[in-house]
Amino acid sequence: MAAMFLAPPSSTALLLRRDPNRAVPSLNLRSNSHKTLSIKSYSASLTQDQLKKLAADKAVEYVKSGMVLGLGTGSTAAFVVSKIGELLKSGELTDIVGIPTSKRTEEQALSLGIPLSILDDHPELDLAIDGADEVDPNLDLVKGRGGALLREKMVEAASDKFVVVVDDMKLVDGLGGSKLAMPVEVVQFCWKYNLVRLQGLFKEQGCEAKLRLNGDGKPYVTDNSNYIVDLYFETPIKDGPGAGKAISDLEGVVEHGLFLNMATAVIVAGKEGVTVKAK
């Protein structure tokens, strides 16, 4: 693999600040417009997993000792958790508390010696880092193909800053544009009733709704003992906030995978390097 060169954060895209009301630093990534920092890696032959790791390593640069962190779920987030574990073991990070977004993230973090807690004890987090299934030009997201959307949304909504880590295959012009699943978590009771109603909401987008199944053909069950109905769109969702509200208004819907106006920054790894997109 070719050598990778990562520049420090741009002063116009990512800034570290100390909040006088907090004991630890937090990220100041908000501004009035999207700003982009491109970091060349000169690694044209990287695999998708290597791209994910490159982006994950960049995201972990913004983790500081003393932080309470939201730990995401999925293949990209697993690289983040692994890196945090390495830095704790080496002593480069200390006094970290992690809030996992799934049972499998909890198991991984514990195996790496990362101290864990829950939202009940830490209702305000300094930073959450997680992957995403889709990212649109407004930095709105589709998440939850790994099945952890409810806990992810709870933890990331409670975080002061939310940094998203993806490879460039996850970039879309509009949410639903990948034609892959946009998940909706529903109660088990009369799940088919809600599947039909969800599909009916998006007839104009050519939506097809399917119950998520395990490899054995049985319904997939979330960490919260619910089912997931996956929505597949022929055309992108035109009105994200409107779609999210319409889905949430259905009785029996627990949560949906539209993460709107939540991301503070998105770190994208591609063949030409790492790009940081910030609001």
152 among known catalytic residues: yes
Residue 184 to residue 241: CA distance in whole angstroms: 15
- In this structure, which amino acid lies at residue 134? E
Residue 221 CB partners (closer than 8 Å, separation 6+):
188, 227
Helices (H), the chain: 48-60, 75-90, 103-111, 149-157, 191-201, 240-248
Catalytic residue among 106, 152, 185, 255: 152
Residue 144 to residue 183: CA distance in whole angstroms: 6
Torsion over CA: 85, 165, 162, 31 (sign) = positive
Contact 132, 141 (CB under 8 A): yes
Contact 105, 135 (CB under 8 A): no
Q: How far apart are the first and last CA of the chain?
A: 32
Residues annotated as catalytic are 152
